[in-house]
Amino acid sequence: MMNCEQVAHAASDYLEHRLGFSARFAFRFHLLMCGACRAWVEQVRHARAALRSLQPPPAEAPQVEAVLGALRRERARGDSPPNEP
Amino acid sequence: MPAPGVEFDEAFVARLRAGDERAFRDLVTALHGSLQRLARAYSRDDSVIEEAVQETWVGVFRGIAAFEGRSPLRSWIFSILVNQAKKLAVRAHTRAQREPALDDLAEGDPLAGAFFEDGHWREPPSPWDPQDPETAFLTAEAQEVIVAALESLPESQRRVVLLRDVEGMGSEEVCNILGITGTNERVLLHRGRVRVRQALDAYLRGTPPAPPAPRRERSRTS
């Protein structure tokens, strides 16, 4: 049997399918009986989905130009691509 | 989340090797923001962050000919960033990452004190009101809450959450990039998610989140 504390700590392992057979069984059995832990696991799942929905911060054009400028200088110093014999 | 619009396949790597500037431009445009975001989980010093990212691009340019494709291109680039960021953070005497990454044990466990001795919740979670919270999380306001929650995570948790959930990488890949054990990765990922869940809980219930330790000033509202 798992208690609420163990279920709360194992929620990500459960969502990532990292629990073994018997732990997974105990976890699901606890969820059947415990509304608070059902809510908890759902909310951790939603938190994961919320994080997955984040877009990468856009690169600003001047930053991209600065990087490409540095690469051009790098290329000018050696042959391109630089690590080729 | 993988960079949109650019397929990092073998043909793309071949263009990079050939020195195709358009390919480099696409690569930098796709990943620069993600690299800065990860670098911020190593240092709060803007000059350190910028230098780490710049040095990463130079490293990519110099190393692409020798890149064998044993790890995905994106993994390889993030690994270069992590090495640069660690090196620069040490040099700048800011807090550097050390293994074990559970260095923030005291402040790190958001579930500390949440249970009675018999393992029952002190304050049992109750279901969220909207039946479809994921739609509610797509608003600009909610996205700001998620970003703020992410940025207030302890650095070791933020690195893992960024790579696993935000960038969508696998567990083994992330352990290799960050140089941490699988056990640490599991613990840090869960702790980070729990904190983000707390922030979303407070947002949906209309209560202000418990204030985290003061962090980088990112607010544009003041």
Q: Which of residues 11-40 of A touch B (CB under 8 A)?
A: 11-13, 16, 18, 35-40
Rounded (10°) angle between helices B46-63 and B21-39: 140
Whether residue B119 and residue A43 make contact (CB cut-off 8 A), yes or no, is no
Give the model confidence (pLDDT) of B7-55 as tens digits.
888 999 999 999 999 999 999 999 999 999 999 999 888 999 999 999 9
**Which of B:46-65 have CB within 8 Å of A?**
54, 57-58, 61-65
Best to test chain B binding among A2, A16, A54 (most B CBs inside 10 Å)? A54
pLDDT computed for residue B108 by the predictor = 79
Is residue A83 less than 8 Å (CB to CB) from chain B?
A: yes
Query: Residue type at A34?
Result: C
pLDDT of residue A74: 85
Contact A81 B114 (CB under 8 A): no
Could you tell me if B15 lies within 8 Å of chain A, comparing CB atoms?
Answer: no
Q: Which residue of B has its CA nearest to A78?
A: B62
Contacts of B75 (CB under 8 A, 6+ apart): B169, B173, B176, B177
- AA identity, residue A14: Y
Round to whole Å and give the CA distance between B152 and A55. Answer: 18
pLDDT at B211: 55
Is the pLDDT at A21 greater than 50? The verdict is yes
